[in-house]
């Protein structure tokens, strides 16, 4: 079965087969009618996403009319998706040769060249398109991008200038030209581009600061400072200008002046809270270069957070900074609590505090944190997942089930399918603990609908079927999937060998038991007991007794195990449960 998503299509007018002329013979007319019919059928199948059938139909169309560029184009898309890059490229070249004036075909051909690693050929196609379709100015931007990637900076600038001649000047294009000049290490041209931005945007002081930065980075701090001071004379509280002065002092090694200027700027009450956070964001990379600045940075944040007004942006930034530098949980928690005191619906803070509670296995705190978070974000399924799990681990299964089901009521088409599967899995595990077999299997079935590869569900489902001796073929199918995906997992190996054992395939089960014993030094009591049962049925009683004895040492004090050891033979125990 061929599954395809996003197969390219082109405007109908560009792919419509040529009209049949009256000069055609009856045979050619009949052939054309057949082609038209099958071509429309192929397009319909493609629209329905029946791609296997559509591919076959397009190939039939090509047999009817080998010179149809429309069919050639469609087939090239399918072949590209199937990984037949050379065949796809050959077809696309053929389509362009047949209809050189088709803009869409040529664009797809350029993409095909790119996918085949033929960058020069792709550029050549775009260059020809820029010449042949002069009204489509986007081609100049595409070429500028390619030229920049290939370090053909002069050509990149020329392409952008061609775009400007047709579309007029813009900030975006000017900044692209500036960045290219920087990559070329052409300071004079970079300065010229920024000067144009300054002239065209006299009220936007960002460009004047940028001009000063260029001089700063090119060893002319005096000229840079002059420009920065001009900005501040026009707008004394301009954040970019004042930050530039601060960085100037830092670069000159004048730490005392740097800190004085930066403190004055940061604590200026005329600066909005968002601008203050932006200022800190810009300054942090420079501030954090020295480990000696860590105490200074902490003090800056704490002082800024104490300023009047809503300093939430700064508080959020401080929490992020602390996480990045690996601060202690005890230092981060009060900052997150402060965030929630101002913005209780903040997801990032809620989830971080919940993560700390999970880390410490503090079930009561997990429940409390999740309860608060659910009030503001009832759509977050992970909150119900952890809340329910905490109740389960507190041996409160009814509360756990109620939480899981409440969470599932809030799911939508956008919900993470794997998370939904995991919640159904927890419902199944909880119902199993309560002895509700039918509810357990129903929950597991739902879990596998949302995630057919949920290995924990597959394993548990298979094991419980094996214990009950029911539907063993399905149990084997599910358990085998887990072993293939996790060939060294002792729990999955144990389940699979037990399914084989319950099917009467004792020698096969023994092979897996030997693998389990050879590769795992710390097996569970159940695993030792299973291996003992398998060896006993296969006739190795002495080895079986040794394994049963190991199971005893691991904590299995069941009467049935004692009887096996005493009588030195396998005795079925269908009531035994296993914690997976």
Q: Which of 169-178, 441-450, 472-481 has the lowest mean pLDDT?
A: 169-178
How many Å apart are CA 463 and CA 479, to the nearest integer? 8
CA max distance for the chain = 99
Residue 375: inside a domain: no
DSSP 379: T
> Rg for the chain (alpha carbons), in Å?
35
Q: pLDDT for 327-383, tens place per residue?
A: 899 999 999 999 998 899 998 899 999 999 999 999 999 999 999 999 999 999 999
Residue 181: inside a domain: no
How many Å apart are CA 302 and CA 143, to the nearest integer? 49
How many Å apart are CA 89 and CA 303, to the nearest integer? 63
Tell whether the model's pLDDT for residue 577 goes beyond 50.
Answer: no
List the one residue out of 391, 390, 459, 387 whose CA is nearest residue 425. Answer: 459
Question: What pLDDT does 22 receive?
Answer: 43
The answer for residues whose C-beta is within 8 angstroms of residue 294's C-beta and 6 or more apart is: 288, 325
Residue 111: inside a domain: no
Number of independent structural domains in the chain: 1
Residue 338: inside a domain: no
SS3 of residue 100 by DSSP: coil
Question: What pLDDT does 257 receive?
Answer: 78
Helices (H) and strands (E) in the chain, counts: 32, 0
Q: pLDDT for 429-468, tens place per residue?
A: 999 999 999 999 999 999 999 999 999 999 999 999 999 8
pLDDT band at 224 (very low <50, low <70, confident <90, very high): confident
Distance, CA of 568 to chain centre: 55
Question: What pLDDT does 428 receive?
Answer: 96
How many Å apart are CA 201 and CA 328, to the nearest integer? 47
Geometric angle at alpha carbon 187, from 185 and 193, rounded to 5° = 115
Tell whether the model's pLDDT for residue 535 goes beyond 90.
Answer: yes
Question: What pLDDT does 289 receive?
Answer: 67
DSSP 23: T
Residue 93, judged by CB atoms within 10 A of its CB (0-12, 13-18, 19+), counts as: middle
The beta strand positions in 140-274, using DSSP E, are none
How many Å apart are CA 161 and CA 173, to the nearest integer? 9
Question: What pLDDT does 574 receive?
Answer: 54
Average pLDDT over residues 253-259: 75
pTM given for the model: 0.59
pLDDT band at 290 (very low <50, low <70, confident <90, very high): low
SS3 of residue 72 by DSSP: helix
Question: What pLDDT does 497 receive?
Answer: 95
Average pLDDT over residues 385-412: 95
How many Å apart are CA 372 and CA 404, to the nearest integer? 16
Residue 489: inside a domain: yes
Letter string b/e over residues 494-521, b meaning 16 or more CB atoms within 10 A of that residue's CB? bbbbbbbbbbeebeebbebbeebbeeee
How many Å apart are CA 446 and CA 417, to the nearest integer? 11
Residues comprising the chain, all counted: 580
207-213's contacts with Cβ under 8 Å and 24+ in sequence apart are 208/241, 209/238, 209/240, 209/241, 209/244, 210/178, 212/244, 213/244
Residue 535: inside a domain: yes
How many Å apart are CA 119 and CA 111, to the nearest integer? 9
Residue 444, judged by CB atoms within 10 A of its CB (0-12, 13-18, 19+), counts as: buried
How many Å apart are CA 397 and CA 55, to the nearest integer? 53
Domain extent at residue 501 = 453-580
Residue 248: inside a domain: no
- Phi and psi of 489, rounded to 5°? -80, 115
CB 214 within 8 A of CB 187: yes
Higher pLDDT, 309 or 438: 438
Residue 155: inside a domain: no
CATH of the domain at 480: 1.25.40.10
Tell whether the model's pLDDT for residue 16 goes beyond 70.
Answer: no
The answer for residues whose C-beta is within 8 angstroms of residue 97's C-beta and 6 or more apart is: none
């Amino acid at each position: 079965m061929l599954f395809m998503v996003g197969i390219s299509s082109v405007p109908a007018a560009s792919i419509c087969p040529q009209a049949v002329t009256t000069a055609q013979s009856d045979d050619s007319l009949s052939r054309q009618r057949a082609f038209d019919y099958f071509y429309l059928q192929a397009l319909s199948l493609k629209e329905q996403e029946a791609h296997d059938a559509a591919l076959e139909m397009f190939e039939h169309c090509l047999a009817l009319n080998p010179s149809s560029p429309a069919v050639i184009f469609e087939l090239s898309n399918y072949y590209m998706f199937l990984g037949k890059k050379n065949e796809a490229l050959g077809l696309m070249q053929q389509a362009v040769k047949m209809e050189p004036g088709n803009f869409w075909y040529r664009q797809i051909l350029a993409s095909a060249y790119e996918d085949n690693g033929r960058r020069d050929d792709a550029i050549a196609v775009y260059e020809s398109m820029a010449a042949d379709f002069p009204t489509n100015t986007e081609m100049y931007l595409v070429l500028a991008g390619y030229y920049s990637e290939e370090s053909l900076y002069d050509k990149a600038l020329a392409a952008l200038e061609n775009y400007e001649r047709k579309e007029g000047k813009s900030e975006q294009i000017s900044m692209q030209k500036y960045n290219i000049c920087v990559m070329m290490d052409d300071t004079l041209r970079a300065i010229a581009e920024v000067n144009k931005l300054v002239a065209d945007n006299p009220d936007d002081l960002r460009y004047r600061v940028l001009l000063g930065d260029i001089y700063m980075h090119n060893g002319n701090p005096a000229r840079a400072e002059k420009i920065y001071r001009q900005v501040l004379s026009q707008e004394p509280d301009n954040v970019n200008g004042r930050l530039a002065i601060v960085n100037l002092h830092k670069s000159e090694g004048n730490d005392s002046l740097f800190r004085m200027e930066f403190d004055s700027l940061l604590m200026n009450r005329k600066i909005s809270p968002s601008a203050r956070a932006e200022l800190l964001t810009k300054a942090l990379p420079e501030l954090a270069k020295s480990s000696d600045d860590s105490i200074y940075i902490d003090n800056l944040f704490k002082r800024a957070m104490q300023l009047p007004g809503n300093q939430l942006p700064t508080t959020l930034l401080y929490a992020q900074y602390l996480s990045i530098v690996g601060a202690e949980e005890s230092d981060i928690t009060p900052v997150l609590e402060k965030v929630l005191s101002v913005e209780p619906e903040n997801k990032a803070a809620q989830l971080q505090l919940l993560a700390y509670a999970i880390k410490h296995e503090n079930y009561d705190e997990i429940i409390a944190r999740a309860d608060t978070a659910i009030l503001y974000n009832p759509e977050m399924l992970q909150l119900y997942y952890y809340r329910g799990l905490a109740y389960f681990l507190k041996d409160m299964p009814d509360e756990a089930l109620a939480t899981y089901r409440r969470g599932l009521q809030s799911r939508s088409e956008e919900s993470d399918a794997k998370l939904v599967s995991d919640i159904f899995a927890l419902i199944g595990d909880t119902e199993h603990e309560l002895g509700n077999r039918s509810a357990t299997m129903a929950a597991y079935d739902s879990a596998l609908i949302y995630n057919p590869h949920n290995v924990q569900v597959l394993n548990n489902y298979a094991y419980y079927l094996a214990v009950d001796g029911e539907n063993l073929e399905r149990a084997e199918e599910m358990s085998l999937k887990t072993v293939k995906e996790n060939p060294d997992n002792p729990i999955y190996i144990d389940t699979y060998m037990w399914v084989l054992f319950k099917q009467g395939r004792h020698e096969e089960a023994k092979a897996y038991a030997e693998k389990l014993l050879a590769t795992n030094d710390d097996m569970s009591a159940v695993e030792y007991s299973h291996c003992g049962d398998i060896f006993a049925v296969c006739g190795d009683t002495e080895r079986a007794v040794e394994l049963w004895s190991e199971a005893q040492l691991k904590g299995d004090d069941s009467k049935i195990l004692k009887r096996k050891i005493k009588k030195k033979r396998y005795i079925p125990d269908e009531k035994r449960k296993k914690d997976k």
